[in-house]
Structure 1
Amino acid sequence: MTLKKDITIYDIASKLELSSSTVSRALRNNPSISKKTIDKIQKAAKEMGYRPNKLAASLRGNKTKTIGVLISKIERPFLSSLISGIEVKAQESGYNVIIAQSHDSYEDEVNLAKTLYSNRVSGVICSLAMDTKDTSHFQQFIDKGIPLVFVDRVPRDFNTFLVMIDNFSAGYKATKHLIEQGCKRIAHFTGSQLRYIYSERKRGYIAALKDYNLPLDESLICYFDNLSYKEGEKITTELLSRENPPDGIFATNDTSAVAAIKAAKKMNVKIPEDLAIIGFNDDPIATIIEPQLSTGTHPAVKMGVISATKVLEYLKKPKNQDFMEITLLNTDIIVRESSKRK
């Protein structure tokens, strides 16, 4: 099968023996062209199957009406819900969304940021890769007045829009819940301390122990590379094999918390009687596992809507406006069977 080539304004101009600039202006209903000529050109364009190249037109105007979303992994329930919120708000305003995944690689994040910049996106929303230390690859957007929003995994030292939860409070509430259920030795599963969300949740965990006069055992703070299921299973098995095992686990995501439940059950450790467990995010898996997982809420869709709103609002403002603005959201604890002793 032979594919037909796209009809261009030059094809129309050749057929009608007119200049391409006249055809271009007529297709845009420019008042400098007579109505008779406009009608003639637009009729020919329709008959020839001409389709305007909206992308090319937008690039000429430096406005693609596209928001770039740079995240770690789309299969994570939190991030897929975040994207859903972004898309709803963007589409309401006539914007498209391009999604790029760094797979928690700093190098991929740098390259993808360059690609989004080269594609002239109108704005960028990013949740950082786990191992990102240097965020200078985002300065190109600031320099060009392109609105940039960091959401959830935000940098510590970049002045722009930040949308996140109160991670200190979240860590405190989760640990407090376990303490109130009678836990005395609480292990903490955390991610890279480069990421503000994990360092702040750890800080909340430590503060709760202190407020309730429980000793801090550094050996119970477990640092994960990716907070994966495999890591959670391995570390839980090691913890429960100790002479003095923990009686509670606060995991900073639901994946590692579910792994902890599975590993404990394999070792015939009773949940929550011997080991109370709480996760974070309220992923769908939290209600599928047996016993169901207690967890902290993470308003992903709302965070997505807010992030997109910040981009869209900035695009309507004079370009000399400051970027810096922090939106901080609260979270709640959902108590289920994995931690409910009382």
Structure 2
Amino acid sequence: MTNNSVTLRDIANALKLSTSTVSKALRDSYEISDKTKRKVNSYAKKVGYQPNTIAKSLKEGKSRSIGVVICSIDNTFVSQMLNGIDSACNARGYSIMIMQSKESHEQEKKCIELLQARSIDGLLVSPASETTNVDHLKTFLHAGLPIVLFDRFNDELEVPKVSIDNLEAAYQATEHLIKNGYHRIALLHSNTLLNINIERLEGYEKALKQHQITVNPDYIKPCDFQNSTTLQKSIVEAIEQLMALPAPPNAILTTSDQISTQSVGIIRNLGYNIPEDIALIGFTNTNLASSLNPPLSTIYQPAIAIGEQAALKLINMVEGKDDDPHQVIKLHTTLIERTSSKPKNF
């Protein structure tokens, strides 16, 4: 091996230690015994290990700061998660640095690089909708940076994850519509490969199948999250296409905060009445749901709790107090029934 090809993971594998232990030993952390430090340093010298730029930036000691990367701050659900993160970090004496990916994979990478350069102790990430390749996160993880994913998952990354039970939540929403007399149910989704989209689609299909309703691919429409303008345009096009079908849906399940809140106005602007022409239920935490016309039935997610638990999990990892590095925490949601999905008149 050349100097540049030897990684922390290589040393960890050779010595049968965790990557985190090797990283701390090389930084002379008080958390590691002198015996282990000597063992790690001796082997690192033997193989010619040279820290890469990422490892160099992980300074000795703690900065007592946590980096947070989210899709966009102008989102009720995300703002609530950030409140939970901030509350938990403040209680434990940590500050937070927040950056927005704007749903861009490249922007997400830049955000994390900037945060890492500021010597954060750990990283909380809710991956961008464009993010399908997590090599950038693996690089930081292998360099010893503690990472926790929240809200959105990627199964390739073996780190703790905190979110809701997306499959069960979508199942409950779909079953709610079925029990209220709606059997032609459409789905507007965020068109990503992230867990939230895949699991919510699975929950929707599971409910239909268990109630002997055929899944109609024409009723499943993706929405473009590139920016607010394209999102609105794609929602309009999706609803127009749905209502032009020979057998149009009589209910819609929307799977994100932005799609849910925008769909109410768009459906009305297209000349349809909710729920008389088409019922609606969606994933959203907006405080305005009960004030919309009509009041919107929602799947309410425990956003503050998601943020709090993700932050506490990360801080415990940073402080060496966590013994479950692959824990997946799924919190329960609440279905709030309002006028937009009231029982269908037969």
Paired AA for residue 94 in structure 2: Y
Corresponding residue of 2:190: 191
SS in 1 for 2:341: coil
Corresponding residue of 1:247: 250
Q: 1:182 to 1:59 in 2, by over 3 A?
A: closer
Corresponding residue of 2:316: 313
Q: Which has the larger radius of gyration?
A: 1
Post-superposition shift, 1:235?
Answer: 1.6
Contact 1:237 1:264 in 2 (8 A): no
TM-score of the two chains, using structure 1 as the length reference: 0.78
Q: 1:286 to 1:254 in 2, by over 3 A?
A: farther
The reply on whether 1:259 has 2:262 as its aligned counterpart is yes
Corresponding residue of 1:101: 100
Contact 2:261 2:284 in 1 (8 A): no
Contact 2:253 2:282 in 1 (8 A): yes
- The match for 1:273 among 267, 272, 276 is 276
Unpaired runs of at least 5, structure 1:
1-57
Post-superposition shift, 1:128?
Answer: 0.3
Post-superposition shift, 1:146?
Answer: 2.4
Q: How many residues of Structure 1 are paired with residues of Structure 2 in the alignment?
A: 284
Paired AA for residue 196 in structure 1: N
Q: 1:271 to 1:301 in 2, by over 3 A?
A: same
Contact 1:231 1:256 in 2 (8 A): no
The reply on whether 1:145 has 2:147 as its aligned counterpart is no
Paired AA for residue 284 in structure 2: N
Q: 1:260 to 1:318 in 2, by over 3 A?
A: closer
Paired AA for residue 331 in structure 2: L
Unpaired runs of at least 5, structure 2:
1-56
Please give the root-mean-square deviation of Cα atoms over the aligned residues, in Å. 2.0
Alignment of 1:1-342 (within 5 A): 61-226=60-225, 228-317=231-320, 323-341=325-343
Q: Deviations over 1:224-281 (max 9, x none)?
A: 1219344323321232233321100000024323333323323432211221100102
Q: 1:59 to 1:170 in 2, by over 3 A?
A: closer
Post-superposition shift, 1:106?
Answer: 0.4
Q: Distance in 1 between matches of 2:200 and 2:267?
A: 24
TM-score of the two chains, using structure 2 as the length reference: 0.77
Q: Deviations over 1:41-62 (max 9, x none)?
A: xxxxxxxxxxxxxxxxx98644
Contact 1:272 1:337 in 2 (8 A): yes
Q: Deviations over 1:76-117 (max 9, x none)?
A: 111111111101111111111000111111011111111222
SS in 1 for 2:294: coil
Contact 1:171 1:205 in 2 (8 A): yes
SS in 2 for 1:139: helix
SS in 2 for 1:67: strand
Contact 1:70 1:99 in 2 (8 A): yes
Q: Distance in 1 between matches of 2:173 and 2:245?
A: 24
Q: 1:267 to 1:59 in 2, by over 3 A?
A: closer
Contact 2:129 2:192 in 1 (8 A): no
- Is the deviation greater in 64-73 or in 188-197? 188-197
Paired AA for residue 157 in structure 2: F
Contact 2:218 2:242 in 1 (8 A): no
Post-superposition shift, 1:331?
Answer: 1.0
Paired AA for residue 96 in structure 1: S
